[in-house]
Structure 1
Amino acid sequence: MEHIIETWFGKIKVNFNEEDLNKIERYVRGKYREYAKDYGYDNNSYLIELKKRCIALAKDKIQEEAAEKDRSIIRAYTILKDLRDNSNTLYEKLLDWYKEHFPELKIERDRMLDIIYRYGGRENILNSNENIFISDKIKKSAENSNGIDLSGEEEVILKELSKTIKHILNLEDILNRYIDEKIGELTPNLSSVFNSRLVSQLIYQANGLKRLAFAPSSKIQVLGAENALFSHLSYGTPPPKHGIIFQHPYIKNAKPKDRGRRSRFLASKIAILARIDYFTGLVKDDLIEKIKKEINE
């Protein structure tokens, strides 16, 4: 019985009584070098071509895995971005309401949420014996407060709202840890030089590591400044010097006259590292240290 087996160097015709195609293919794979001679490959050229094809397959596999990982990062970053916007908005609304009741309470966000969630109104704060959460200063402020009283329903709403915000903030922490881990796996070179938040924003703005790797440094420089760029092209306003890379201290802490030059420099380094991460995935320690040194000089 004649069978035709597809190989990387061509089609092989073999005659076997065996009907199990897997067994036939295993046998043929063991004889690849002999069959390849019919297609002009000697032992040396066969090994050279085989090596090339193995490397190409490995690169394809790396890029496929990168595509899967960066899609997950983009999803996670999109959710995180929405959660941050929502938690900030909800916290502002919570403060607006609670300040009418207790305007003298001025503490940082996490502690404020804990106190509202645990105690609600001023009376509960005054009756508390938990010195860990309620200091004498807070009790004194509550005792002399000029705020209005809360109804029972209002207290329940504010406590539930603070609880919801705490849950959202906890989810933000989980997403941040997930992104940190995945960014480190996907971009070992980029994330060794730049923090995971900036790298995730770059991947999100570019719509994937592949597009970031193929983007010219001039585009990377203004990623995130699309509105300003549109205004420049449409109305002749000054062109943007930088986009989201401005948040990096190398640019942010520079004098205004140096920011354009530094933005171009940083964008060129991001382009190089993104290409290495996308096309090879290999960690280039010498290059990482060189770029870090150049940034810190």
Structure 2
Amino acid sequence: MLVLYESAVGLALFKIKDSKVEGKQDELAKEFETPEGANNLVKLQAIHRFTSTASAVEDMTAIGEGKLSKSLKKFLTDEISGNKKLKNEKLAVSEPKLGGAIAKKLEINVVSDSSVNELYRGIRQQLSSLLGDVDPRDLATMELGLSHSLSRYKLKFSPDKVDTMIVQAIALLDDLDKEINIYSMRVKEWYGWHFPEMGKIITENITYAKVVKAMGFRTNYATTDFSHVLPEELEETLKSAAAVSMGTEISDQDLAHIHLLADQVISITQYRTELYEYLRNRMAAIAPNLTALVGELVGARLIAHAGSLVSLAKQPASTIQILGAEKALFRALKTKHDTPKYGLIFHASLVGQAPTKLKGKMARMVATKTALSVRLDALADADSKSTVESATIGIDNRVKLEARLRQLEAGAGFSSLRAQAKLNGGEKQKRFDMKGNGASYSTGADSVTLISTGVEAAPGADEGVEKMVVADEVEGETEEQRKKREKKEKKERRKSEKAAGGADGEATGETEEERAARKKAKKEKKRAREEEDGSPKKKSKKSKTRDE
């Protein structure tokens, strides 16, 4: 049995002397415990030494991918296929994919299952003694150099093309924003006990922290110079508020801790500015077209969400459009509702300046151009990306999208804010001021004029009182309104007449027995009239049942 072993020195071919120990892991482990036992069991048949680090990296990469390199193919052909004694021998290979490629192309009987793992472990343990003329220290140095070269090749290391730095930078930028917000709120709440009015006067976090550092106790407002922190108008407002502040007193120890926290806010804010500049420069070097189209922050978030620039380039435009809205997408698919129109790309300036009804269409167009731009950035040569004209496609796509947006706005009847500003001569909208010279309320408007409608009042009202309506309801009414009013009045008149007729019994003052007697007499009179006519009325079901 032959064993193919790849090492930093080269490709080695070993032959097992004792075929009885094949597959017996316990016996193999005992034999490989000492160099003498390993040499008695395994013999070096042939070796193909690497001539350079580049050739070693090439062969090792091919073996790792399960491919048969030219040098390995030539080595196996010369040593096994061309040797009649070894042609029928089994060949043990560590990689199953590589074993399949060797068996297919060279027609060699290959073994690449778990039974050869212990054999490879023993050879690796006693490799320096099996190779013979190789010093263990030299072998360790060669292995270290080859591992570095192989890792560098796998990572495809290039200082100008490391998108991992962008992924880490944008994640750190988000974390810094959260930390700055938390620390700033803590400073305002803490110092607000001493000077509560200052929180409404100064809203910026970094400015608030600098004022706290400069002033200390609020009683020092008169001797503190805020010219390097605040404008003159704001400085006067702050000093006026400090003179009449309702805050409580704090100790020196309290102020010392507040100063330490303010220092943290200032330092983190300064580092955040430096990190943003670093991210902007890195995005301009790695993805200039993507940056020109959607901006460095949105572009960096897209790269970070996809994992890398190459992964983002492999995505279609429809995926880029909803990248970042996966949770909403799957929720919509589960509930059978409308899917989201945009994800992270919503924060791009081109989508943000579009009207609400056109945002979905604009997001789709921006995603299409983004897919083209990012593919060029990912697959372009590093030298061509470093030139001044590297972002031409991104800039051209942005100009086309802006023109298309203006065309859509004109067709839909929208006018962008920028267009309105140009029409107004670049002037901003004037601020609305509430003035106190409004007109007073006129009580004379409360009086109304009533006119007669000719409709009698409802029962119970005073005699001779007619129903009155407001004059404004009659004057100026249309023909349709007049007909409706007359119909309503007629309906009310009928209602009042019916109510008056139904109350006759109550008006005469008859009792319940008298009313029953009157109704009975009325029925008998009606029955007698029917008998005279000769057409008796049919009995009802109730009367039939009663007769029976």
TM (normalized to structure 2)? 0.42
Residue 212 of structure 2 aligns with an amino acid whose one-letter code is: I
Structure 1 counterpart of 2:353, which letter? N
Q: Please, which of 326, 331, 335 is the counterpart of residue 231 of structure 1?
A: 331
Instruction: Give the aligned partner of residue 78 of structure 1.
Output: 171
SS, match of residue 148 in structure 1? coil
> Secondary structure of 2:397's match?
helix
Q: Which residue of 2 aligns with 1:277?
A: 377
Q: Is residue 2:393 matched to residue 1:287?
A: yes
**1:109 aligns to 2:109 (yes or no):** no
Whether 1:252 aligns to 2:356 is no
Are positions 1:142 and 2:228 aligned together?
A: no
Question: How far 1:127 sits from its partner (Å)?
Answer: 3.2
Aligned ranges for residues 161-200 of structure 1 at < 5 Å? 161-200=261-300
Change (3 A) 1:10 1:82: same
Residue 235 (structure 1) shift: 3.2
1:120: which partner in 2?
A: 216
Match of 2:126 in 1: none
| Letter of the 1:251 counterpart | V
Whether 2:354 is the aligned partner of 1:261: answer no
Q: Distance in 2 between matches of 1:141 and 1:240?
A: 49
Return the alpha-carbon distance in structure 2 between the equivalents of residues 259 and 94 of structure 1. Answer: 39
Deviation at 1:265, TM superposition (A): 0.7
Deviation, structure 1 residue 129: 4.5
Alpha-carbon shift at residue 155 of structure 1 (Å):
1.2
| 8 Å Cα contact 2:292/2:395 also seen in 1 | no
- Corresponding residue number in structure 2 for 1:154: 254
CA offset at residue 274 of structure 1? 0.7
SS at match of 2:299: helix
- The answer for unaligned runs of 5 or more in structure 1 is 14-59
Report the residue type matching 1:295 in the other structure. L
* Structure 2 partner of 1:90: 183
Q: More displaced, 283-292 or 70-79?
A: 283-292
Give the SS at the match of 1:240.
Answer: coil
- Structure 1 residue 137: Cα displacement: 2.4
Q: Does 1:209 align with 2:309?
A: yes
Q: CA deviation at 1:238?
A: 3.4
Amino acid corresponding to residue 291 of structure 1 in structure 2: N
* Distance in 2 of aligned mates of 1:171 and 1:126: 32
Letter in 1 for 2:190: W
Which of structures 1 and 2 has the bigger CA Rg?
Answer: 2
Identity %: 26
Moved more, 182-191 or 233-242: 233-242
Indicate the SS of the match to 2:350: helix
Counterpart AA for 1:72: M
On the 8 A contact 1:67/1:210 being kept in 2, the answer is no
Read off the aligned partner of 1:294 and give its amino acid letter.
K
Letter in 2 for 1:103: P
TM-superposition CA deviations, 1:129-176 (whole Å, max 9, x none): 454447232111101111222222221121111110111111111211
Using the TM superposition, name which of 139-148 and 279-288 deviates more: 279-288
Instruction: Let me know the Cα RMSD of the aligned residues.
Output: 2.9
- RCO (CA 8 Å, sep 6+): is it higher in 1 or 2? 1
- In structure 2, stretches of 5+ residues that fail to align are 1-46, 60-68, 76-152, 404-548
Shift of 1:122: 0.5
Whole-Å separation in 1 of the counterparts to 2:336 and 2:253: 55
Q: CA deviation at 1:264?
A: 0.9
Residue 119 of structure 1, CA deviation: 2.2
**How many residues are matched?**
250
> What is the Cα deviation at residue 10 of structure 1?
4.7
What do the CA deviations read for 1:51-75 (whole angstroms, capped 9, x no partner)?
xxxxxxxxx9996538961111111
Q: Name the SS of the counterpart of 1:126 in structure 2.
A: coil
